[in-house]
Amino acid sequence: MSSRFVTEDLARAAFDAITPAIAAQLASPDISGLGVLHLVVLDPSVPCIDASSQPKVLAEHSIGDRARWDVDYADYARRKALLSWRHRMDSRRLQLLEPHRLTSDDSLLWGGIWLDGLVVAASGAFPIWDECFSMMVAVQLRARACAAAERAR
């Protein structure tokens, strides 16, 4: 089973809507050293039941030239998303305010968000910008899901 309204197609539409704005900002060295970003969206219908639960990746999207990657930004984004999904909060909040909840396997990076059950994470920019770009996608997803639900009614 998957989310009724947050589908892969809806996630792709959200990526398409925000990619130009993100790409323009990634050109600034104050935002991203390499001008690259990877985004991950998790399926909001998959709950975190316990520590052995695993999320379902709904969609991923890269911006910029992947040949410039100096690390695996996709893996970093997935690990940030896992933190937000497991703890039901932005990874920044977890890292900075509740580090006692981290396990030895958890990422020490932040840039994932939790918005009304939607989890999006980004990697490639500086942490606050990863979080900003994640939030941009999440807000698009929430609006598009609400519009789809309204049409279904």
Confidence of residue 20 (pLDDT cuts 50, 70, 90): very high
Q: Determine the average pLDDT of the residues in 39-60.
A: 92
Q: What share of the chain is helix, strand, coil (3-state, %, to 5)?
A: 50, 15, 35
Q: Where is pLDDT greater, at 42 or 50?
A: 42
pLDDT at 134 over 80: yes
pLDDT at 49 over 90: no
- The distance in angstroms from the start CA to the end CA of the chain is 21
- Residue-level pLDDT at 90: 97
pLDDT at 60 over 90: yes
What the chain holds in terms of domains, given with CATH numbers, is 8-152 (3.30.450.150)
3-state secondary structure of 92: helix
Confidence of residue 50 (pLDDT cuts 50, 70, 90): confident
pLDDT digit string, tens, across residues 68-114? 999 999 999 999 999 999 999 999 999 999 999 999 989 999 999 99
pLDDT at 1 over 80: no
- R_g over Cα of the chain: 15
Cβ burial 77-98 (10 Å sphere, 16+ → b, else e): bbbbbbbbbbbebbbbebbeee
The total number of residues shown for the chain amounts to 153
- Residue-level pLDDT at 53: 84
